[in-house]
Each structure stands twice: as structure tokens, then as C-alpha cells.
Amino acid sequence: MDFKYVPTTCPYCGTGCSFNLVVVDGKVVGTAPFQRSPVNEGRVCPKGSYAHEFVNAPDRLKTPMIKKDGKFVEASWDEALDLVAEKFAQYKGEQSSVICCARASNEDNYALQKFGRCVMQTPNIDHCARLCHASTVAGLAQIFGSGAMTNSVSDLADTNCAFIIGSNNFEAHPLAGRRLMQAKKKGAKIIVCDPRRTPTAKQAHLHIQHYSGTDIALLNGMMQYIIQNGWENKDFIEKRTVGYEEFKKNVMQEKYSLENVSKITGVPVDDIKTACQWIHEAEKTTAVYTLGITQHTVGVDNVRSVGFLQMLTGNMGKPGTGVNPLRGQNNVQGACDMGALPNVFPGYQKVTDEAAVKKFEDAWGCKMPAKIGLTIPEMLDTFADEPEKLKCLYLMGENPIISDPDIAHVDKALKNIEFLVVQDIFLTETAEYADVVLPAVCYAEKDGTQTNTERRVQRWRKAQDGPGESKYDWQIIAELAAKMGMGDKFPWANASEVFDEMAALTPQYCGMNYERIEKEGLQWPCPTCDHPGTKVLHCETFAGMPDGKSVFAPIEHRPPAEQTDADYPFILTTGATIWHWPSGTMTRRSESLNRDCPTGWIEINEEDAAEMGIETGDIVTAYSRRGEVDVPARKTPDIKKGVMFMPFHFWECRANWITNTPYDPVSKTPEYKACAINVKKKEA
């Protein structure tokens, strides 16, 4: 028997834990702890423990497939890529679009955005960060000059107070949650602001249970109270910020008095005072947030408001402080860094900056569309409503027919696409709409890198061969480019060569190569070959900002796009559960995870449920202005009265039948966290 351990990093969340893959006779059969990771010190959550279970699922994609007369037929790589090359040639320019993949490696994403820009000549390049933390990327860039987590995962353990808002890290980032519990053990105060009493909220000393969509009011109220008490950090404000007076004038308005804020948020005045008091008394406060604040029509302003709280109290640029968005997908930080976005090249170099355009044109040897392209919601809107403008989509690893809002709208958009290519590891529900399906290998079958939430670039290592004829994503892209006459621009022999090309063009990654990241990875920015990487951002200055200063601004509370009324009297919020991953492609093929959580549900406050005669286990129809869905009810005291919650992973009861499409005007992130619904008990 041939037996080995292959150290790698987790393919699920952005915490970026390491573990070993256990390989017997060339097949991945299990996982085992890898103790030396500075992120997780050998521990993993259930998804990490069982991350081997989907790898050898019998229905992994094994060969390319072409749709003929409505049915998929197996094809050779030559047949499939010849067809794609011929079709893509007809759609070059703005008629085409590309969606990259936050589950795949940096190398895969670098290759695909380059293919989009260089070969397809399209600015329409995006990925699922749009549905998730685009509000972070835009919001933090506006105030700090960089859209990434400021501190590190291990650093969360060194805080004296954790202000956690809209983050259920016990389920969504369990090993980051562990660091916060280490801080708690050492005496740190834990504050969680969430409309649900989540497993994370249950660990808090103070749970602020506000209505979904009232975060700005809450934060403005807190900041007014802090200023009233003279608890602001005058030194930090003076030396390291601009715009304070105007900001202050706004938050000091009567409408943000604690009495008014209490009415808007539904939170007792004393709880808000306690939160402020604890932040004031703590030497170091860390702010941790995730989608509870980003997935709103005010997502960018929510993010900026969290930043302002930390600027106001001087909690920036030191260990145990900072503004810490926990990024979602394993490599969503990396996909953003790679320029899998419509407005920036790798390293956030703007597509509208002439010097940057010239740099990439010279490096890649081709002309490029120097304009900002469409985001995912804009692509879907255009496919649905103006299909003459947008005709073709190359989709690598995303499953919009489960994960995008308003499924009826997504269905219309996908049906209107003239030529759809899906490259995935499984035949997803979205792949069923494709003209051509291309089989990729998964994380356990490739060398590559991914970048976790704390900007740490870490390795994946090949532990087994991919099934059938599946190939590396970057390799498929390079072979397709060659079919389209651009092979010389994609000359790589292995993933390390892709990385080196990327690093030379990406300032944050310039000092990295596979040799340097071999052991623990490196945190960007890492600008030179002897640079040790960066644990904490913005220590002395906000490097990306004019004069190196962070920027305050006045921000007003605005309610969600859709309000409750007599017909739709409940606020629906949606999100994740610990057992499953967004569209479930991997976790629902994992026997252990599926056993513990076989299907979806809707959480209903126990008083609301009693008023409607609904019991746990009853099937209810949840409906909104977009559609309806049948789903088992779960009655609970843990959700605020008037609010309901659905996890969104489950094909058979998709939350997105009823969610709403309006998005933040800057980040274009949809308002998954608040829409108006009603429920009725389904007749037996």
C-alpha cells in the first residue's frame, strides 16, 4: 500500500486553514491535521474535516460535453475547444462576458481575466465577490485606499474587545471564530450585532439584535454617543484623518440620538450605551464584519460606517484592532487581487488609468478595452432584457441558478444567452443551460495558490490525478487561446510559471514565488524578494490615499429597497449554515455533511409562528413579489420578531426564488439580506 500526506489549504472558506490530504494508492481518502499553520494550528471545522469526500464523487465531470438537440454528448477536447474557439471568435468584444471563480486558484483566475481582456477583447469580467464583499472592496478603498482585511486572523486573539457586526463566524468562518474565543478567554468583551441569535451571538457578552437593514442608524447612534462623552481619539483624528467636521455634524443630528436610533433599530438604549462604554474602556477594539452589512443597497456605506467607528476611536494600524472583513470563498481575495473584476487589472490597477493600460498592453502584447465592464447583476440584466447587446458567456465555477437573486430573472437571462460555456468540476444546475461543458480538476488535483482573508498567499498541492480527461483550469484557458491563435501569450508549462508572470505585474505580489511561500505563505503587500510580508495594514499611513490620510464622510441611514407592508409583512434575510456551501455542489456530495443537514428550512420567530398556527416541520409557502417556494418551517426564539431567515444552499427550496435584485449603486452587490415576504401554511 502506498500512503502519503500532502499538505494543502482548505477549498472552502476564506479563513485559509491548512490540513493534510491523506492519499492511499494514489487516491485522496481523508484529511489529517497540519499543525504548523499560523492560521488554524491544526484545527479545522466540519467542512475542512470532510473536504476529501466530494473529491472522488462518482459524478465528477470527466470529459468535455457538447449539447446536441438539447442533450449533452461526450466530446474530445479537440472537438469541444474547436467549437468554442469558432464561436468565441464571432462574439469578440463587448458582446461577450467572462465570470471567473473564487473557488479556483490565483493562477486560474489570472489566466481567465487575461483571456477575457486579451483574447475576447471584453471589459465584461467579474466573479462572485460581486455578490458578497464587493461593498468591502469599494468601501474600504474609498476610506483607506485598500479594500482588504487590515489585520490578521491570529491577531483577532489579541484584542480586548471584539465588535462583530453582521458576521456569523461560528458557522461561516469557524477557525476565525476560534481566535475571537481565545480573546474572550483572555478577558476580551464580545459584542455581536445581528438580527438573529446565531451561534456566534450566543457566545457574546452583549447581543445587539437590531432589525435587518438598520446598521447605519445603529453605528451613527453609537458614534454620536461616543462623541458626546468625549471618547473619540482626538490625536488619531487630527493626525490620520480628513473630513471629520462634516462627518461629526451629520452624526450629531437629533435623528441619531439614542432614543431615535432605538426606535429605528429595535434595540434598547442601554445596550447601545454598553457597547460604546466597552469600546471606550478597551485598549484595543477589533471590528469584524461580513455579509450582514455588505449585502444591502447601502452595503458600501455600511462598510464605511464600520471604518469610521474604528477611525473615531483610533483603533487602526495596531495588532488587535482594525477593520476586518472575513472574506467568504477560499480564494475570493485572490480572485479580486488577480483582476477578476470589471474595473481593475491584477493588483487593483485601474482599467481607466492610461499608464496601467499601457503596462498591460506591453506585457501581454495586445490591445485592450480600456473601459469599465459589466458586473454580474448587470450581465444578467442585459442577457434578460437586452439580449441583442450581450450574447456569450464563459463561466468558470459559479452556479447562478441557485446563488443569484430572483431565480425567475436568472432563468430568463441564462435561456437568452446565445453561447454559454461552463467550466466546472460537476455538471451544476447552471451547466444544464450550457452549450459546451468543460471538465476541470479540483483543489486536490492541482498545484496552485490561493489568498486567504488576511492576504496570505498559500499553496495547493496536487495529491491525486483529476478524473477522466479533466484538466487544470489555466491549462484549458491556455489551450483555448492557442486554438484562437494566441497561444504565444499563454506559454506556461506549469502553475508556478503562471504565478511568476502574474507576480511581475502585481505590485502586492512582486516579492513572492513558489519557493518563498512554500512553508507558511506570505501576506501581501510583499513588494520585494526580501520583504517578510505584512501582518497589519495602515500602521503609519494610509498608503493608497492622498496625503496618506483616511477619509470621514457624512452618511445617512436609508432603509432597504423593499419595505414590509400588509401583503408582505415580514423581513426575509438569507445566509449560510455551517454544514453547506453556497450552491451545495461540493457539500451536498459529502456524505457526512449531508447526513447532518439534508435540506433547507425557514426560521420563524416563535410568536409569529404561533399567530399563524405554524409548527416546526410544517411545510410553508414563502412568497414575495418575485416568486414563491415551499420550505419546512423551524420555529425559534432566536430570530427577531418580524424577521425570517432562510439558508440559500438548497436546490429544492431555493431562497433566491423570493429574494430581491436591487443592488448597492457603487458595489452592485444585491440586497440578499432584506426583502419583504409573507408565508402561509401549505394545505396537507
Ligand X SMILES: Nc1nc2c(c(=O)[nH]1)N[C@H]1C(S)=C(S)[C@@H](COP(=O)(O)OP(=O)(O)OC[C@H]3O[C@@H](n4cnc5c(=O)[nH]c(N)nc54)[C@H](O)[C@@H]3O)O[C@H]1N2
The site string for ligand X over 247-286 (x = CB under 6 A, - otherwise) reads ----------------------------------------
Do residues 368 and 115 make contact, with C-beta atoms less than 8 angstroms apart?
no
CB atoms within 10 A of CB 72: 18
Q: How far is CA 379 from CA 110, 342, 376, 410, in A?
A: 21, 11, 5, 10
Residue 1, Cβ density class (10 Å: 0-12 exposed, 13-18 middle, ≥19 buried): exposed
Q: Which does 193 bind (CB under 5 to 8 A by kind): Mo ion, ligand SF4, ligand X, none?
A: ligand X
- Shortest approach of ligand X to residue 352 CB, angstroms? 26
Q: 131 or 495, CB closer to Mo ion?
A: 131
Which DSSP letter does residue 191 get?
Answer: E
User: How many CB atoms neighbour CB 245 within 10 A?
Assistant: 10
Mapping DSSP onto H, E and C, the string for 586-647 reads CHHHCHHHHHHCCCCCEEEEHHHHHHHCCCCCCEEEEECCCCEEEEEEEEECCECCCEEEEE
570 binds, among ligand SF4, Mo ion, ligand X, none (CB under 5 to 8 A by kind): none
Q: According to CB under 6 A, which one of 312, 486, 576, 622 is a site residue for ligand X?
A: 576
Give the binding range for Mo ion (CB under 5 A) out of 23-31, 131-139, 380-388, 401-409.
131-139
Quick one: which of 550, 573, 660, 678 contacts ligand X (CB under 6 A)? 573
Amino acid identity, position 650? F
Q: How many residues does the chain have?
A: 684
Residues within the interface to ligand SF4 (CB under 6 A): 10, 12-13, 15-17, 40, 44-45, 47-48, 173-175
Q: Choose between 71 and 595: whose C-beta lies nearer to ligand SF4.
A: 595
Q: How near is the Cβ of 442 to ligand SF4 at its closest, in Å? A: 14
Binding mask 300-329 for ligand X (x = CB under 6 A): ----------------------------xx
Of 321, 320, 325, 324, the C-alpha closest to 312 is 321
How far is Cα 325 from Cα 337, in angstroms, rounded to an integer?
A: 15
CB atoms within 10 A of CB 51: 28
If one asks whether residue 581 binds ligand X (CB under 6 A), the answer comes out as: yes
The type of residue at 539 is: C
**Closest residue to ligand SF4 in the complex (CB):** 48
Q: Which of Mo ion, ligand SF4, ligand X, none has residue 48 at its interface (CB below 5 to 8 Å by kind)?
A: ligand SF4
Long-range contacts of 589-593 (CB under 8 A, 24+ apart): 589/53, 589/54, 589/57, 589/59, 589/426, 590/50, 590/53, 590/54, 591/53, 592/46, 592/49, 592/50, 592/53, 593/46, 593/47, 593/50, 593/53
Residue 632 preceded by cis peptide, ω within 30: no
Interaction between residue 117 and ligand X (CB under 6 A): no
From 23-31, 422-430, 551-559, 625-633, span contacting ligand X (CB under 6 A): 422-430
Q: Which three cell numbers stand for residue 599?
A: 435540506
Helix (H) or strand (E) holding 197: none
Rule CB under 6 A: choose which of 53, 378, 424, 603 binds ligand X: 424
- Can residue 328 be called a binding residue for Mo ion (CB under 5 A)? yes
What backbone phi and psi angles, to 5 degrees, belong to 424?
-150, 180
Near Mo ion by CB under 5 A: residue from 132, 143, 164, 356: 132
Is 65 a binder of ligand X (CB under 6 A)?
no
Burial of 520 (0-12, 13-18, 19+ CB in 10 A): middle
Question: Is 290 near ligand X (CB under 6 A)?
Answer: yes
In whole angstroms, the minimum distance from the beta carbon of 4 to ligand X comes to: 22
How many residues touch Mo ion under the rule CB under 5 A: the total is 2
Shortest approach of ligand X to residue 102 CB, angstroms? 6
Using CB under 6 A as the binding rule, whether residue 673 contacts ligand X is answered as: yes
Report if residue 407 touches ligand X, rule: CB under 6 A: no
- Per partner kind, with CB cut-offs from 5 to 8 A, the member of Mo ion, ligand SF4, ligand X, none near residue 340 is none
| Near ligand X by CB under 6 A: residue from 21, 442, 444, 633 | 442
Q: Which residues contact 549 (CB under 8 A, 6 or more apart)?
A: 240, 241, 242, 541, 542
**Looking up cell 440578499, which residue turns up?**
672
165 binds ligand X (CB under 6 A): yes
Using CB under 6 A, which of 425, 434, 502, 676 touches ligand X? 425
**Residue closest to 88 by CA, chosen among 120, 118, 124, 112:** 120
Contact between 194 and ligand X per CB under 6 A: yes
- 325 near Mo ion, rule: CB under 5 A: no
Binding test (CB under 6 A) with ligand X, winner from 94, 107, 126, 171: 171
473 binds, among ligand X, ligand SF4, Mo ion, none (CB under 5 to 8 A by kind): ligand X
| Segment near Mo ion (CB under 5 A); pick from 127-135, 224-232, 415-423, 619-627 | 127-135
Task: Answer positive or negative: Cα dihedral of 381, 383, 389, 390.
Answer: positive
Residues 77-116 that bind ligand X (CB under 6 A): 101, 103-104
Closest CA to 239 of 536, 537, 542: 542
> Shortest approach of ligand SF4 to residue 507 CB, angstroms?
27
Q: Within 13 Å, how many C-alpha atoms sit on residue 679's CB side?
A: 34
Which residues would be at the binding site for ligand X (CB under 6 A)?
A: 13, 47, 101, 103-104, 128, 131-132, 165-169, 171-173, 193-196, 198, 212-213, 215, 290-293, 295, 328-329, 396-400, 403, 423-426, 428, 440, 442-443, 473, 573-576, 578, 580-583, 585-586, 648, 655-656, 659, 672-674
Which residues would be at the binding site for Mo ion (CB under 5 A)?
A: 132, 328
